[in-house]
Chains A and B, each alone.
Chain A
Amino acid sequence: MNALAKSLLVFVTAFTAACTPAGEIEDLPYVWDLPPGVEPPAVPEDNALTMKRIALGRRLFYDDDLSLDSSINCGTCHQPQRGFSNPRPVMFGIENRLGFRNTPTLTQVAYSPYFFAEGGSPTLEMQVLGPIENHDEFGFNAAELYERIRQNDEYQALAREAYGRPMDLFVLTRAIASFERTLVSSHSPFDNFYYRGDSDAMSPAARRGWELFISDRTQCRSCHDGFAFSTYEFANVGLADYQDEGLTRRTMEAGDVGKFKVPTLRNVALTAPYFHDGSVRSLREVVEHFNRGGEGHPNQDPRVKPLGLNEQEVKDLVEFLRSLTDTTLLNNPNVQPIQ
C-alpha cells in the first residue's frame, strides 16, 4: 500500500470512528499506525485490541462517573493538548485535593513494562484502579464503582458487544487500558526524519540536537532510548532534595531514594512542568539542570554529570526535544473527549 493510500485509510478510519456512536462501530481488530520497522507493543491475550473495546475505553476514560463525586475523569489530568499530561505541578483530584506527583504523560504508555513511578503495577489493566482508588485523585472505591457502572444500561450493552460479558471491573479496566494503548506517537517531525527518511522534517537545530542527544558526550540515550525514548529503568536525576522518596517507597532501600521510572520524552515539549514533583518549569531549565550535572544528590545517577554544553548546544537539544511533539496524535478525533 503506498503512503497516500495508507494515509487515506487512517483518515477514513479516524473520521468514521469519531462520528459514529460507540455501539455502532464495527468490531474490527485495531490496526497499528507505526513507522517502518517499529514493532507494536505487547497486548495481553485476554484483551486483544478491537475498535469496540477502544471506543468503550474512550467513553470510560472521559466519564466523570468514575470519580466519587462525578466531578473529574482521566482526561481531567491527562489532557490531549498537553501531551496527555497536565500543566499543574502535581496531580489533583476531587474536591481540589492535591497529590504529590506531576501527572505523567500517557503517550507511548503501551510500551511501558510496569506502571507508576515506582513500577509497582505490573499491567496497564491493573494500573487503572490506582487513580480511581487514590484518595487524592478519584477518591472512590472499586467495589462501589462496580455497583455504579453496572446500573448503566448503555455500558452494559457496550460491554456485551466489546467483551461478550456484563459491565464489570474486568471490562472497565481492560477497555480503558485498550484506549490508552492507542495513544502512540508516531508522526512527530522526529519520526518522519528518523524512521521515514524525510531529511526536511526536522530543523537544522533539531538535527544538531539529535546528534548531541545520541553522543557519548551527553549519554542522553542511555536512559531515553528506543521508540518510546525510555529504558524504563529507575534513576535519580540529581535534584537537591527528595520529599518524595520514589522507589524507596517500594523497596525500603536508602539507595533508592529519589529514583523514579525514566519517563518517555514523547511530546515532552507539552508536558511542562517537569520532573516527578513538577518543580522545573521549562524544557530549557531541564537541559540546563543536566548540563550543570545535577545538584549532587547522594543517589544521583553517575551518568548525570556536567556536560559542558554551550548556549547554542543547549538550544539545539531543546529544539530536538520539541521535534518529538506529535500533533497528529494530539489532534486525532479518536482520542478527544466525547462531545
Chain B
Amino acid sequence: MKSVRILWILPALLAMTSLFTTGCNQTGCMDPDAYTFDPKASESDETQCEYPHFHLMINSVVGSQPFAFNQTFQINGVATSFTTAQFYLSGIEIGDDEATEPLGTYLLVKANQTTYEVGDIKAGHKHMLKLAVGVDSASNFLDPTTYAADHPLAPKAPSMHWSWNSGYIFLRMEGNVDTDGDGTPETPFEYHVGGLPQYTSLSFDGLHADAEAAEFDVEVKMDWARMFDGIDQRTSLVTHTMDNMPLARSLVANYTKAITLE
C-alpha cells in the first residue's frame, strides 16, 4: 500500500515542478515604458519591446480657412498672401504632471506640411506637452554643414540660417500685403526672426492622452493669422530681427496665440 502511494506522488511532484519551471521562463518585454510591456514575463526579451512613435500633427490655418500659399486671406482686414511660412521647433518634451521626457528633436515646421515624426516615447498617460519656437542654445551656433542634407538643421532653401551673425532663423514668414487698398496683396513683407533671446518656450497642460499603441499623434493648430495680432502688416513690412526688433518681438509675443493644442 505504501509503495502504491509513492508511485502516485512522484508523477504529481514532477508535474508541479514542470509547471513552476515553465512559469519562471516566460519571456517578454519587461520594460514598463514599452507599450508591449508584459507584466507576466519573467525573462527579458528586449526585441519584444516596442515604444509609441510620437508624431506632431501640425495643422496650419489662417483663421477659419486652411492654409495655402499664394492665396489671398483677409487678416485683420488686410488682404495678405504667403510665399514662405515656416519655423523651427525644438525643446520638445512630453509627459505627465510629474515629469516630462525631453526628446532632443529638431523640427522645421512648414505651413504646407502636417505630419512630423518626433521620436519614440515612453508609454503611458500624457498630460503635458512642451515646445519651443527656435533652435536651442546647444545647437543654434553649430555649423549647419555638419548635418546630412535631409536633417532639419542642414542648410535649407529658402535659407533658415544667418552666416554674418551666426545662428538659425527661427521663424521665416514672407508674402505680400495690400497697401493700396485695392484688395490685392502687392507689397512684399519679410519677417525673419532669430537670435537666442527670441527662443520661446510654450507649455500645454491639457493633453490628456494615452500613449499605449504603436502610433501616438498629438494635434496642434498653427493659425498664421494670429501671428499678425497687434501688427499692421501694411506698415510693418520687414524685420530681420536686429534691424527691426520691435516687430520681431511682436511676432514672438504672438506664438502663444498662434500655436494651440487641438
Residues on A facing B (Cβ under 8 Å)? 116, 118, 120-123, 125-127, 129-130, 133-134, 141-144, 146, 168-170, 172-173, 249-250, 252
- B242 interface residue per 8 A CB criterion: yes
Binding site for A on B (CB under 8 A): 141, 143-146, 149, 154-159, 161-166, 242-243, 245
CB-contact partner of A123 in B143, B157, B161, under 8 A: B143
Contacts of B154 in A (CB 8 A): 143, 169
Quick one: closest B residue to A150, CB to CB?
B149
Given A121-B164, A169-B149: 20 more A-B contacts, CB < 8 Å = A116-B164, A118-B165, A120-B162, A122-B141, A123-B143, A126-B163, A126-B166, A127-B163, A129-B145, A134-B164, A141-B155, A141-B157, A141-B158, A142-B145, A143-B154, A143-B155, A169-B145, A172-B145, A173-B143, A252-B242
Which residue in B146, B161, B163 is a CB contact (below 8 Å) of A170?
A: B146
22 pairs, A vs B, C-beta closer than 8 Å: A120-B164, A120-B165, A121-B165, A121-B166, A122-B166, A123-B143, A125-B143, A127-B163, A129-B144, A129-B145, A129-B161, A134-B164, A141-B155, A143-B149, A143-B159, A144-B157, A146-B149, A168-B149, A169-B144, A169-B149, A173-B145, A252-B242
Mostly, the B contact residues are loop
Give A172 Cβ to nearest chain B Cβ, in Å.
8
Closest-by-CB residue of A relative to B146 is: A170
Q: A146-B149, A168-B145 are in contact. Are A130 and B163 (CB under 8 A)?
A: yes
User: Is the Cβ of B164 less than 8 Å from the Cβ of A252?
Assistant: no
| Separation of A172 and B155 alpha carbons in the complex (Å) | 13
Nearest 5 A/B pairs, CB to CB = A130-B163, A142-B155, A120-B165, A143-B157, A169-B145
Alpha-carbon separation in the docked complex, A133 to B192 (Å): 15
A129 to B158, CA, bound (A): 14
How far apart are B158's CB and chain A's nearest CB, in angstroms? 7
User: What is the bound-complex CA distance between A133 and B166, given in angstroms?
Assistant: 13
Q: From known contacts A133-B159, A141-B159, infer whether A250 and B149 are also in contact, taking CB-CB under 8 Å.
A: no
Q: Which residues of A contact B159 (CB under 8 A)?
A: 133, 141-143
Q: How far is the CB of B22 from chain A (nearest CB, A)?
A: 53
Give chain A nearest CB distance to B202 CB in angstroms: 25
Q: Contact between A252 and B143 (Cβ–Cβ < 8 Å)? A: no
Q: Write the nearest CB–CB distance from A261 to chain B, whole angstroms.
A: 12
Q: Which residues of A contact B144 (CB under 8 A)?
A: 129, 142, 169
Residues in chain A near residue B156, CB distance under 8 A: 143
The chain A residue sitting closest to B167, CB to CB, is A120
Q: Is the CB of B145 within 8 A of A249?
A: no
**Complex formed: what's the CA distance from A30 to B158 in Å?**
37
Across the interface, name the chain B residue whose C-beta is closest to A173: B145
- Whether B145 contacts A133 by the Cβ 8 Å rule is no
Complex Cα gap A120–B141 (Å): 10
Q: How far is the CB of B229 from chain A (nearest CB, A)?
A: 24
Q: Report the Cα distance A172→B145, complex, angstroms.
A: 9
From B147, which residue of chain A is reached at the shortest CB distance? A170
Give every chain A residue within 8 A of B158 (Cβ-Cβ): 141
Closest to B243 in A: A249
Closest residue of chain A to B141 (Cβ to Cβ) is A122
Expressed in whole angstroms, the minimum distance between the Cβ of B8 and any Cβ of chain A is: 75
B-side contacts of A172, CB under 8 Å: 145
| A118 adjacent to B164 (CB under 8 Å) | yes
Cα(A122)–Cα(B158), bound, Å: 22
A173: chain B residues within 8 A (beta carbon): 143, 145
Are B164 and A130 in contact, CB atoms less than 8 angstroms apart? Answer: yes
The chain A residue sitting closest to B162, CB to CB, is A120
Question: Is A252's CB under 8 angstroms from B245's CB?
Answer: yes
Closest partner residue, chain B, to A123 (CB atom): B143
Nearest B-chain residue to A129, judged by Cβ:
B163
How close is A326's CB to chain B, nearest CB, in angstroms? 28
Cross-chain contact A249 with B155 (CB below 8 angstroms):
no
Q: Are A249 and B157 in contact (CB under 8 A)?
A: no
Residue in A closest to B241 when the chains form the complex, CB atoms? A252
Chain B residues, CB < 8 A from A168: 145, 149
Find out whether the CB atom of A125 lies under 8 angstroms from the CB atom of B145.
yes
Q: Give min CB distance, B243 to chain A, whole Å.
A: 8
Residue of B nearest to A132 (CB): B163
Q: How far is the CB of B153 from chain A (nearest CB, A)?
A: 12
Residues of A with C-beta under 8 A to B166: 120-122, 126
CB of A284, distance to nearest CB on chain B (Å): 32
Q: Shortest distance in angstroms between A329's beta carbon and chain B's nearest beta carbon?
A: 26
Closest A residue by C-beta to B148: A168
Q: Are A250 and B242 in contact (CB under 8 A)?
A: yes
Separation in Å of the B193 CB from the closest CB of chain A? 15
* Chain B residues within 8 Å of A142, by CB: 144-145, 155, 157, 159, 161
A249 to B141, CA, bound (A): 17
Complex Cα gap A121–B167 (Å): 9
Return chain A residues, CB-CB under 8 Å to B146: 170
What are the residues of chain A within 8 A of B157 when measuring CB–CB? 141-144
CB nearest neighbor in B for A143:
B157
Within 8 Å by CB of A133, from B141, B143, B163, lies B163
Give CA–CA (A121, B141) in the complex, Å.
9
Complexed CA–CA distance, A170 and B146 (Å):
6
Is there contact, CB below 8 Å, between A249 and B163?
Answer: no
Bound-state Cα–Cα, A146 to B162, Å:
17
Q: How far is the CB of A205 from chain B (nearest CB, A)?
A: 40
CB neighbours of B143 from chain A (8 A): 123, 125-126, 173
Question: How far is A125 from B242 in the complex, measured between Cα atoms in Å?
Answer: 24
